[in-house]
Amino acid sequence: MAAQIDLHCHSTISDGLLAPQDLVAHAAKSGIKVLALTDHDDITGLAIARDAANQHGIHFVNGVEISVTWKRRTLHIVGLKFDAENDALKSALANVRIGRDERAKQMAEGLAKAGIAGAYEGAKEISKQSIMTRSHFAQFLVKNGHAKDVKTVFKKFLVKGKPGFVEHQWMSLESAVSLITNAGGQAVIAHPGRYDLGTINMLLLMHEFRSYGGAAIEVVTGSHNPPQYQQFAKIAHRFSLKASLGSDYHGPGLSYMAMGCMPDLPVGCDPVWADWSEAQYLNVK
């Protein structure tokens, strides 16, 4: 049976295609009973999502996915169950969003040099009021015929060494973990299998993350294949970290994985939700 919990997904507040209330409706229809909304660097969708979850009779958990720079690489740290009114968290995320806008302007400059004009305005039109992400640039570039789909456009324009890529300095790992933890939440390393770290750095990351008070890693995610579920279940166990589970759903056509289709955590994992009241229903097996 598919897992009934999903602790990683995106709405139009960041680079998802569904508005928070529509995303929650979609989750409910897909059989999800416990949901966290984890928009990139923004928590303004949580209140609407929580109301919608109440209406649909599903349990809602506050979430966010914070962009971090660690050893010159970008990592994503998911925060769960924090107080969304925490001032330090709110103002740190506001700063990240200012940085995102500056980065988007630099990305557009790079694309302009490669002969693609108007990318900032074009991506902004797609992102509407939300933060500017590479996903929005990807959609703009596909719409204007620069590649056949989002996947191809990333490879051609938006990754290291390509015209639309900007090396950006995000928050430190320690800051992200501390902000989440000090706001009463749990910090989770998102999709660890996606980082090209090598064994030594992967273990170093786990060790460092744990030392800052990190709680869990994603074991089952839309970005991992089944052998990686096993691999990261073992790593979690080795570092006494809990395990999380999320689809990383971004909406129809943009997601890595549909909602309501994720397998349960491998046997032996310690779920990050083990002592959550929201997930009691799931803990009774």
Q: Which of 8, 59, 81, 134 binds ligand AMP (CB under 6 A)?
A: 134
Binding residue for ligand AMP, selected from 12, 38, 62, 67, defined by CB under 6 A = 67
Alpha carbons 20 and 44: distance in angstroms, whole number: 10
223 contacts 191 by C-beta, under 8 angstroms: yes
Q: Where are the alpha helices (DSSP H) in 30-144?
A: 46-56, 87-113, 119-127, 134-143
Binding of ligand AMP by 12 (CB under 6 A): no
| 29 touches ligand AMP (CB under 6 A) | no
Question: Does 151 contact ligand AMP by CB under 6 A?
Answer: yes
Decide if residue 15 touches Mn ion (CB under 5 A): yes
Nearer to Mn ion, 178 or 221 (CB): 221
Angstrom CA distances, 264 to 65, 100, 108, 238, 260, stand at 22, 34, 41, 20, 11
Per-residue contact flags (x/-) with Mn ion for residues 239 to 268, judged by CB under 5 A: ---------x--------------------
Q: Which range touches ligand AMP (CB under 6 A), out of 91-99, 116-124, 129-137, 207-215?
A: 129-137
Say which residue the tokens 């589970």 belong to: 245
Q: Which residue, 79 or 145, has its beta carbon nearer to Mn ion?
A: 79
Note whether 154 binds ligand AMP by CB under 6 A. yes
Residue 50 binds ligand AMP (CB under 6 A)? no
The Cα-based distances of 32 to 61, 158, 229 in angstroms read 12, 33, 20
Torsion angles phi and psi, residue 259, rounded to 5: -85, 150
Q: Min. distance of Cβ 135 from ligand AMP in angstroms? A: 4
Q: How far is the CB of 149 from ligand AMP (least distance, A)?
A: 9
Which residue, 166 or 203, has its beta carbon nearer to ligand AMP? 166
Q: How far is the CB of 151 from ligand AMP (least distance, A)?
A: 5
Calpha distance 110→279 (Å, rounded): 46
Q: Give the distance from CA 190 to its chain's centroid.
A: 7
Rounded Cα–Cα distance for residues 87 and 83 (Å): 9
| Of residues 194, 177, 170, the one with CA closest to residue 241 | 177
Stretch that binds Mn ion, among 61-69, 114-122, 160-168, 229-237 (CB under 5 A): 61-69
Which DSSP letter does residue 72 get? T
Q: How far apart are the first and last CA of the chain?
A: 13
Q: Is residue 39 near Mn ion by the rule CB under 5 A?
A: no
- Binding-site ranges for ligand AMP (CB under 6 A): 15, 40, 67, 133-135, 150-151, 154, 250
- Binding-site ranges for Mn ion (CB under 5 A): 15, 65, 76, 190, 248
